[in-house]
Homo-oligomer: A and B are copies of this chain.
Amino acid sequence: MTAEVASKRKSICIIAYSGELEPTWASMIIASTAAAMDMEVSIFVTFWGFGALVKDSKRLPGKNLMQRMLSVMQRPGISHRKLSKMNFMGMGPWMMFQLAKKYNVSKPKDLLGMCQELGVKIYPCQMTMDLFGLNKEDLIDGLEDPVGAATMLQLATEADSTLFI
């Protein structure tokens, strides 16, 4: 084994598919920890995962009625993610955030910022953007250019570990 191979950085690829609070949080914790460990980290964001990429301030993104209805039903923005269960009109997430604060666990939004500072590459899925009628301006800054499933598959098969979250 050559020195070059031996010193290869480890890499992980996350396919961020879910939109609820817990999987969003899990993705962000895993990605930021991996980046802090100097791993190469790529996140391919698709389907409901876009809840975390749309700017918190965007209330109703979408270009046509159906797309805007999707936004009404699933408010986008990383600060507006809901628990997958026991949401109780927002009380569930509120409790989670209180507990997280008490035990020094960063919020998903802060972890996302940390990921971006640590060089995590975040790829929006082009097809999802088309389906949901999202523009680049609807999304947070600092993302890679949108890509398709083929690019995602290259990232996934080259990574040491791929997680579909």
Contact = CB atoms under 8 A, between A and B. Distances in A.
A74 B67 contact: no
Number of copies: 3
A159 interface: yes
Given A10-B157, A74-B85, A165-B164, A26 B22 contact: no
Size class of the A contact interface (CB-based, 8 Å): 35 or more
Contacts of A34: 149, 153
B99 A86 contact: no
> Taking chain A's interface residues, is the majority helix, strand, or loop, or is none over half, making it mixed?
helix
A108 to B, nearest CB: 13
A163 B153 contact: no
Contact of A157 (B15, B39, B153): B39
